[in-house]
Amino acid sequence: MNKKCMAANWKMFKTRQEAEETTRELMSLTAAKLPSDREVLLIPPFTAIASVAATIGSKTGFGVGAQNFYPAENGAYTGEISPDMLLDLGCSWALVGHSERRHLFHEDNEFLAQKVRFGLERGLNIILCIGETLNERKNGQLATILNKQLTSALSDIGYTDIASRLVVAYEPVWAIGTGEVARTEDIREAHDYVRSELKKIFSSAADSIRILYGGSVKPDNISEIITLDNVDGVLVGGASLQAESFSRIVLG
């Protein structure tokens, strides 16, 4: 069975030195006590990936991911980073479809599907982020939106080892960075729905695909969230920036 994934999305925060310091402090607070059924994934900005990977070294239970990549091997794509460049830095995971990429940078389902496919093909493991806006929720479109985001990105994948290569993060857009965490019944409903949709796509392999919750996860709400059925980890933004606060989430 896959371990619970405790992921830190540092967004556009931290220089190399700050990222190294936070990583070192986090490891000293958690490494000795990390339960055997949990792992930590740090997702710093591109510029700090190599330093975080070097700080982690070969320590088990800790890994590095990227926040983004462009779905091409190489080429004239000024400003972009390829999956091979990330793998070369010691980075094995990447986010695709974070709500900030969808909304601020207008990445649509079709482009995100290309990224998922290409990233997996090149050897990256993918964390596909999905979630509804407040308006979509109010209009009763939760299932329609999640269904579209999942099926468009995953329908043609067909990898046999999918459960070790793919993670889905359910992050309601209205709960990201707002301090407004979804109610446990909302999380349960959405995660149950995601699991049932994954089963339609991947049949029994879907049972071991991890589904993370993200959106205002904090040290004081982690224990309630992490124990819910179908919650296989968390994706944390704001509360992951300080080692002390993220360590309480990792161990919480």
Q: What residues line the site for ligand PGA (CB under 6 A)?
A: 9, 171, 176-177, 214-217, 235-239
Kindly state the smallest distance separating residue 241's Cβ from ligand PGA, in Å.
9
Q: 109 phi and psi, to 5 degrees?
A: -55, -35
Kindly state the smallest distance separating residue 55's Cβ from ligand PGA, in Å.
22
Alpha helix ranges (H) inside the chain: 16-30, 46-56, 83-88, 99-104, 109-122, 134-138, 142-154, 162-165, 184-202, 222-226, 243-250
Residue (51 or 67) nearer to ligand PGA, CB: 67
Residue (202 or 252) nearer to ligand PGA, CB: 252
Q: Does 98 qualify as catalytic in the annotation?
A: yes
Residue (39 or 202) nearer to ligand PGA, CB: 39
Residue (83 or 214) nearer to ligand PGA, CB: 214
Kindly state the smallest distance separating residue 91's Cβ from ligand PGA, in Å.
17
Tokens found for residue 150? 């999942």
Q: Does 171 qualify as catalytic in the annotation?
A: yes
Strand pairing class (4-9; 38-43): parallel
Among 165, 151, 168, smallest CA distance to 98 is for 168
C-alpha distance from residue 228 to each of 18, 144, 184, 188 (Å):
33, 23, 8, 7
Query: What type of residue is 47?
Result: T
Tokens found for residue 246? 């993220």
Kindly state the smallest distance separating residue 249's Cβ from ligand PGA, in Å.
10
Three-class secondary structure of residue 64 per DSSP: strand
Contacts of 138 (CB under 8 A, 6+ apart): none
Active-site pick, 39, 100, 132, 171: 171
Active-site pick, 98, 107, 132, 191: 98
Residue (71 or 214) nearer to ligand PGA, CB: 214
Q: Return the number of other C-beta atoms located less than 10 Å from residue 72's C-beta.
A: 15
Task: Go through the chain and tell me how many residues it has.
Answer: 252
Kindly state the smallest distance separating residue 72's Cβ from ligand PGA, in Å.
25
Kindly state the smallest distance separating residue 160's Cβ from ligand PGA, in Å.
29
Residue (206 or 217) nearer to ligand PGA, CB: 217
Three-class secondary structure of residue 214 per DSSP: strand
Give Cα 85 to chain centroid, integer Å.
19
Closest-approach residue to ligand PGA (CB): 237
For the annotated catalytic residues, the residue numbers are 98, 171
